[in-house]
Chain A
Amino acid sequence: MRSILAVLGQAVLYALFAAFVGFFSTRPQYRPLPDAHALVKLSVSHAGALKADCRRRTREELERLPPNMRVPAECPRERSPLVIELALDGRLLHAETAMPSGLARDGAATVYRRFVVPAGTHHIAVRLNDDGRVPGFTHQREADLTLVPGQVLVIDFDSERKEVVLL
């Protein structure tokens, strides 16, 4: 009798263990966004313009260099920081100046931000400057978009076509 009760007790505890695993393996459901909201991702990875143009070295400068390093042109590697602004319905949502990566600041500047916004129609404006020698913004994009609940809008910059893209 005692052994039967022990087996029953074991069965109950194993069942509870399985129920625990089964429950938290699927429940409660996860809601990645609040109801009736969408996600805007501002994700840009772009190497800005060089901060300065190449210039020819003078004869004196060349003579001061070791013979194996006498390259006529000197081209600074450092790139411009990326200045970016994102406005939603006329309100500035984000403004950032991203520095180029790398020790010599010659790599791509990267911006990655997420914004949870109410679903619906919005006016989105993206302004970007990738050349420190040009005042204001070098690239802009504005659009009226209708975001459905759960939609992920990606704002990127196409470095080949030199334009802001909305995906």
Chain B
Amino acid sequence: MERVLHSAAFGHSRNPVATILERIERRLDGLFGAVSNPLRHLGAIGFLLFWVIALTGVYLYAVFDTSVAGAYRSTEALSATAYGFGAVVRALHRYASDAFVAVLLLHLARELAFGRVSGFRRFTWLTGVPLVWLTFAAGIVGFWLLWDEVAALSAVATTEWLDALGIFGETLARNFLGAAAVNDRLFSLFVFLHVGLPLLLLAGMWIHVQRLARPDTRPARSLTVGTVGALIVLSFLQPAPLAAPADLGQLPQAVKFDWFFLAPNALSERGSAAVLWLLAAGGTVLLLSLPWLVRTVRAPVAIVDPANCNGCSRCFDDCPYAAVSMTRRGDGGLAVVDADLCAGCGICAGACPSATPFRSVAELVSGIDLPHDPVDRIRRALTEVLAAGEAPVVAFGCRHGADLRALEANGVHAIALECAAQLPPAFVEYALRRGASGVVVVRCADGACEYRLGDRWSDARLAGEREPHLRASVPRDRVLVVGAGAGEERDVMTRIARWRRLPVHAARQEAGDHA
């Protein structure tokens, strides 16, 4: 029964786009390393770019003349600063903003491709959608501050687009009918918006990551250097353009245009404001509806067994979604699971000290566990495999990475888990002591954990760097940890085959065969 149970749970359900994207990311892992792979850390790059924009923005604000007459002049004067420093800072401000839009849209598309929109991710998805609006609003107003031909075009196009709604009473676009209509007071409003909207954006980004434990907001050093370095080089090579001063009575024949931010202006002016409203509003409603439109079978959430919880708070430390909190109970504590936040990944069960298979109880009940896939099921499946008495190689593997059925076909006894970090490290020692010739832990590829932190916690526990740790007395040459994504089963088998050729396995296997 157990074999059927765990074999039936091997299935993969990735859509083709996600599979292709995963392959690309694995290729880039080979080049950058998972911790510096830009595609895996788009959110962190977004935060990095925001700080670059903010820092350069502070400098620009210091030298900027916030008047109609002075805005263009002061921007033009930046090119005359020593070593062109001002021009480079302005270009960096501009290109970091453009890169922010690109990264934002890529981040959104990636999460959508991986289906990370509903269930316990709903809050993060929903709070991310308004950031798109805030980004465009903050950026477009920034272009107006230059008050060149592009600024005038954008200001007129944006206000005409807003007027199409018909809710503002007075026509906003009349503020840009002629030079006399644009005054310093209006410019002060632009400055206020260009400072205020990014602050709102930052607040939105902060809210966006609130339901993530250890959010990825700081990219690795090499990723930081690569991203910022590339933008600095670009800023030197191609200074940010400044068109002729704004003339509301004369449109330019052709003008250099920032398509990252101003494409909606072009669509509205050359196409139709109604079409743009339809796209923007329709797209927003669709994105906000996705958590309810994309039906996902929600995994049962973790449950706490107060009789076995000693309040150690390891599950609280390890939960990737901050779903576990600790409450007082007598002199100690008790874990509490917030069902709305719980992903049902089982990482908490893997962290629980009471989840050791060495306990001499008929049914293994841990302090915190998955009701549909408890550690007792893992122990029974393992016992069944070991009972064959042939010194087997046992593989504990994540259902979201490499397909474990390929391992079964190659003589490795696989036991599927929701996440590799669901496995309490004591199970490795238990398997080896009870006759396994070796243990393989197949987790998701580096940095590609379905549940964000499972690969890190699994590695750290098995390396003895995080509690609960695999005891030092366990021979490490009989334990193999492999990180692999879907479609990389052949790589996993190659690594296992190479590992099994080690003398220690050959001797064990032989002994097992004799037995």
Residues of chain A at the chain B interface (Cβ within 8 Å):
6, 9-10, 13-15, 17-22, 24-33, 35, 39, 41, 43, 45, 101, 107-108, 110, 112, 114, 148-152, 154, 156, 167
Contact = CB atoms under 8 A, between A and B. Distances in A.
A151 B249 contact: yes
B257 A10 contact: no
B260 A32 contact: no
Given A15-B230, A110-B170, A152-B251, A29 B256 contact: yes
Interface in B183-218: none
Q: Is the interface of A mostly helix, strand, loop or mixed?
A: mixed
Contacts of A41: 177
18 contacts: A6-B30, A17-B230, A19-B234, A24-B258, A24-B259, A26-B241, A26-B256, A29-B255, A30-B256, A107-B169, A108-B170, A114-B160, A148-B250, A150-B250, A151-B250, A152-B249, A152-B250, A154-B178
B249 A21 contact: no
Contact of B230 (A18, A112, A114, A149): A18
Interface in B73-119: 94-95, 98-99, 102
B230 A25 contact: no
A15 B99 CA distance: 13
Interface bracket on B: 35 or more
Contacts of A45: 170-171, 174
Nearest to A17: B230
Closest 4 CB pairs of A and B: A30-B257, A18-B230, A14-B230, A18-B234
A101 B169 CA distance: 7
B238 A26 contact: yes
B31 A32 contact: no
Interface in B220-250: 222, 226-227, 229-231, 233-234, 237-238, 240-241, 248-250
A150 B152 CA distance: 13
Contacts of B30: 6
Contact of A25 (B174, B251, B258): B258
B158 to A, nearest CB: 14
Contacts of B99: 17, 21
Interface in B254-279: 254-260, 262, 266, 269-270
B95 A22 contact: yes
A125 B358 CA distance: 96
B169 A112 contact: no
